[in-house]
Structure 1
């Protein structure tokens, strides 16, 4: 793999910018049947909570045009089983592991970060703030700058120094830039944009909502324009803050679009369900897209869409004039 696609998320150096989106790669064992996980820039785990959760009853997944609606309810084995069974296996695969954390109170997030503090092999922490706050009538942390900031502050205070903390933000808010600023002020080293959009579908056969929980999170290509816009807005306000772009990445050109908007990395999610090899494929296509545009380094493409028309980055190799033939 060439140095063309190397990138960084705070203090974390990655060989390439393609990650898995939280909740879409299982424990990693599922994807490892198809490719070597070390080929990814990093593997982002399913959101880990303090206790084991069965999640919501079925049906909790339904397809929509160019998208997927899910209402999983964050099922998982809990932090202890994750640390005993899943994390050691991932470390054995020589993959950089970003652990996603979810909780229902600020204290719970802090306790989870503390539990990871002395665990080797944790390359980064992604804070999933799209969870109901039991201390605030169940309103999502992600929809309030002060609540999201409180969670980030607790995680940053308890996480191991030097381990990047990324805040994963929801798009269905009044002003995502305000929330992003609050999270960075609270100690976030980077941001993941975006989480799913809330939506619903009604089954014309049963005449009832398609999901048991009525509404769910919309993901896939349908939300990519929203995600790109969020990345563009936040990068304009926080140009030095690393961003992981998420939302409908299914090709190298999709990834390039996020990078031009201001992302330093991208995460592949819904595409994995029908193409488990999507991660390596997106990376290959991204390298080809950069080469075709004579962009020597991925870093030179980050935020390029913000530059004035006619701007040529210093690392772009100019087109050589065609030689005349006799």
Structure 2
């Protein structure tokens, strides 16, 4: 991998997909610089608007949240007209999370977002805990995820990062990371919510500190097997110790998600400590 491509990996702290709302919700809890320079992943955007799943969508459980939100979003056109321009004006580095029912939809999203001013990169949601239930392209094997990444990469500029968001499946994570990276992913985000269920049996995903040991194991496995594949750790990051655990395991950065619903200042606090170190640490060369 080239040094230029390594330099395109965002970090060290990102807002995980959907957990910063539209950005407006997070702004009151930012530091004095607001959202300027903040790596923010949007909620997953689909071609058409989605109202989301039935309630209750989010239930607190010991160690985290069980959720099945159904990817509510205004659709691509509305996002481009309203949410994206506001985030760009606020100074955020916007990484648009994209989700589709077919590879064609992913490609269409990538093509149209490639022309949108202010899009720093894409995060491709290929690891949702219940793709079929959410009406998304079903990723059963690593080559399915790789096919989606390849379709996106063909339509998106090579000098901007494409992140592959994978679920933290220890038995398949190395294979999935390798396949997505070879297909053109700049980095892999490990991981998404773990498949779970509500008390009534409805499929859902578990996120938060409860899944941190699993996500941490996955990051370590990828780094051990594929040291040149950049990873971004996601799953239960809520303080400096949990963030450093991912970095020590080999992650280039972390994403903060569920913690923001409990303490919206988490990202600002972590950036205050980790960003100066990140800016003064020279890039590794292969």
Asked if Structure 1 and Structure 2 have the same fold, meaning a TM-score greater than 0.5 normalized by the shorter chain, the answer is: yes
**1:27 to partner: Cα distance:** 0.6
**1:199 to partner: Cα distance:** 1.0
**1:178 to partner: Cα distance:** 0.7
Local SS of the residue matching 2:241: helix
Among 21, 26, 33, the alignment partner of 2:28 is 33
Local SS of the residue matching 1:38: coil
1:298/1:37 CA distance change after superposition, 3 Å? farther
- Report the Cα distance in structure 1 between the residues aligned to 2:282 and 2:51, rounded to whole angstroms: 40
- Report the Cα distance in structure 2 between the residues aligned to 1:101 and 1:75, rounded to whole angstroms: 12
Would the aligned equivalents of 1:9 and 1:242 in 2 still touch at CA under 8 Å?
no
- Report the Cα distance in structure 1 between the residues aligned to 2:89 and 2:275, rounded to whole angstroms: 27
**Residues 1:91 and 2:75 aligned together:** no
**Residues 1:18 and 2:16 aligned together:** no
1:239/1:172 CA distance change after superposition, 3 Å? closer
Q: Which residue of 2 aligns with 1:231?
A: 219
1:133/1:59 CA distance change after superposition, 3 Å? closer
1:236/1:13 CA distance change after superposition, 3 Å? closer
Would the aligned equivalents of 1:219 and 1:270 in 2 still touch at CA under 8 Å?
yes
Gaps of 5+ in 1: 1-7, 203-207, 301-326
Greater Rg over alpha carbons, structure: 1
Would the aligned equivalents of 1:105 and 1:133 in 2 still touch at CA under 8 Å?
no
| Greater CA drift, 175-184 or 150-159 | 175-184
**Residues 1:155 and 2:152 aligned together:** yes
Q: Which residue of 1 aligns with 2:281?
A: 297
- Report the Cα distance in structure 2 between the residues aligned to 1:45 and 1:60, rounded to whole angstroms: 19
1:287/1:159 CA distance change after superposition, 3 Å? closer
Gaps of 5+ in 2: none
Superposition CA RMSD, Å? 2.5
Bigger relative CO (Cα 8 Å, ≥ 6 apart): 2
1:130/1:216 CA distance change after superposition, 3 Å? same
**1:39 to partner: Cα distance:** 5.3
Among 105, 108, 111, the alignment partner of 2:105 is 108
Counting matched residue pairs gives 275
**1:299 to partner: Cα distance:** 6.2
Q: Which residue of 2 aligns with 1:5?
A: none
